């Protein structure tokens, strides 16, 4: 019996640091309307989709609190929640979180809201890239390590809308552990928002590798864990830094089912039969039958790579 999830990925073009919240939310609602017209019942939004990618501006953390949400939902995002609930659309939304119960914490967070308008669960970014101090020779700064606390919720998978749903954020997709922990919870679709620069701030590399690595990671994660992956870019030039597009929906086979064509606000859509995820889990990636955790201890016990004994 097929279990179809009609998935839309809402790619967003750049958000300028002077864009009003009303304008940003109106763009998102317009994308939801387009998704609805296609029959979507789930919409995936990018990482930090309510603000510009601010973790480049300054190391004065107090100056950046204006970019954080202290409540979710809140008055400014209400139009998104209302439209989604009224049209029975579930969605994931990435934002900068100051938890109500822990005002000293700062998280790069993504929530999943079900088609009744309730926040079903949240995820806080585990892998924080970049630096804690200014990089004088870098083409631009990336201070996520300085601003955000490491995610403290693990990689949850929750049953919602008759699907095993998991989430990750941007850099997380580059680490196979992310998808494997989700895969060990029988995830059937991973919702991934990202803001990925078109230039590697670590050092010079051919430009085409940014898109290649993006697709490589989500396709590998999907295939090796027999899950759909729906990845939503914030794209275009933000604060002078080019962000790649490449929003896509990947099947459990690892094949890209649909790919965005622009660097602007754009909806891509696919009907995802979640039973296709079960095929891989029963066969090639039957974890219970084929995995050997006794041979993998090092993955958990060791943090950094160490040279072999001489």
Q: How far is the CB of 202 from ligand ING (least distance, A)?
A: 6
**DSSP for residue 36:** H
> Is 125 an annotated catalytic residue?
yes
**Active-site pick, 36, 47, 188, 238:** 47
Show Cβ contacts of residue 37 under 8 Å, excluding neighbours closer than 6 positions.
Answer: none
The region that residue 90 occupies, defined by phi over 0 for left and psi between -120 and 50 for alpha, beta otherwise, is beta
List contacts with ligand ING (CB under 6 A).
Answer: 129, 170-171, 174, 194-197, 200-202
Q: How far is the CB of 147 from ligand ING (least distance, A)?
A: 11
Show Cβ contacts of residue 25 under 8 Å, excluding neighbours closer than 6 positions.
Answer: 50, 76, 77, 79, 80
Which parts of the chain fold into alpha helices (H)? 21-37, 78-86, 144-147, 176-183, 208-224, 275-282, 287-290, 297-301
- In the bound state with ligand ING, the residue whose beta carbon lies nearer, of 147 and 269, is 147
Cα gap 195→198, rounded to integer Å: 10
- In the bound state with ligand ING, the residue whose beta carbon lies nearer, of 22 and 205, is 205
> Is 30 an annotated catalytic residue?
no
- In the bound state with ligand ING, the residue whose beta carbon lies nearer, of 156 and 193, is 193
Does residue 254 contact residue 266 with C-beta atoms inside 8 Å?
Answer: no
Q: How far is the CB of 197 from ligand ING (least distance, A)?
A: 6
Bond into 73 cis (ω within 30): yes
- In the bound state with ligand ING, the residue whose beta carbon lies nearer, of 169 and 274, is 169
**Active-site pick, 36, 69, 125, 168:** 125
- In the bound state with ligand ING, the residue whose beta carbon lies nearer, of 184 and 211, is 211
- In the bound state with ligand ING, the residue whose beta carbon lies nearer, of 140 and 296, is 140
**Active-site pick, 49, 168, 170, 192:** 170
Q: How far is the first Cα of the chain from the last one, in angstroms, to the nearest whole number?
A: 56
Cα gap 270→249, rounded to integer Å: 7
Q: How far is the CB of 265 from ligand ING (least distance, A)?
A: 19
Cα 256 from chain centroid (whole Å): 17
Cα gap 198→14, rounded to integer Å: 13
* Helices 176-183 and 208-224, packing angle to 10 deg: 20
Q: How far is the CB of 292 from ligand ING (least distance, A)?
A: 30
Q: How far is the CB of 288 from ligand ING (least distance, A)?
A: 31
**DSSP for residue 145:** H
Q: Which residues are catalytic?
A: 47, 125, 170
């Amino acid at each position: 019996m097929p279990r179809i999830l009609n998935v839309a990925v809402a790619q967003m073009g750049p958000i300028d640091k002077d864009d009003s919240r009303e304008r940003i939310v109106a763009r998102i609602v317009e994308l939801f309307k387009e998704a609805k017209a296609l029959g979507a019942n789930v919409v995936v939004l990018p990482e930090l989709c309510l603000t510009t990618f601010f973790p480049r501006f300054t190391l004065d953390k107090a100056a950046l609190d204006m970019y954080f949400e202290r409540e979710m939902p809140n008055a400014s995002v209400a139009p998104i929640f209302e439209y989604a609930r009224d049209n029975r659309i579930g969605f994931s939304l990435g934002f900068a979180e100051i938890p109500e119960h822990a005002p000293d914490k700062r998280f790069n967070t993504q929530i999943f809201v079900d088609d009744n308008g309730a926040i079903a669960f949240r995820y806080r970014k585990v892998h924080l890239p970049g630096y804690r101090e200014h990089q004088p020779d870098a083409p631009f700064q990336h201070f996520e390590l300085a601003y955000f606390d490491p995610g403290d919720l693990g990689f949850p998978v929750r049953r919602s809308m008759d699907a095993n749903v998991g989430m990750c954020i941007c850099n997380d997709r580059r680490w196979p552990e992310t998808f494997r922990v989700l895969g060990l919870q029988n995830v059937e679709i991973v919702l991934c928002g990202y803001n990925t620069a078109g230039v590697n701030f670590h050092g010079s590399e051919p430009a085409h590798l940014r898109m290649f690595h993006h697709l490589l990671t989500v396709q590998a994660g999907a295939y090796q864990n027999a899950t759909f992956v729906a990845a939503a870019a914030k794209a275009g030039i933000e604060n002078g830094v080019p962000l790649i597009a490449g929003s896509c929906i990947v099947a459990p086979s690892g094949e890209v089912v649909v790919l965005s064509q622009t660097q602007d606000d754009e909806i891509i859509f696919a009907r995802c039969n979640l039973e296709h995820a079960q095929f891989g889990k029963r066969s090639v990636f039957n974890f219970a039958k084929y995995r050997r955790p006794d041979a993998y201890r090092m993955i958990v016990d060791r943090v950094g790579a160490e040279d072999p004994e001489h």
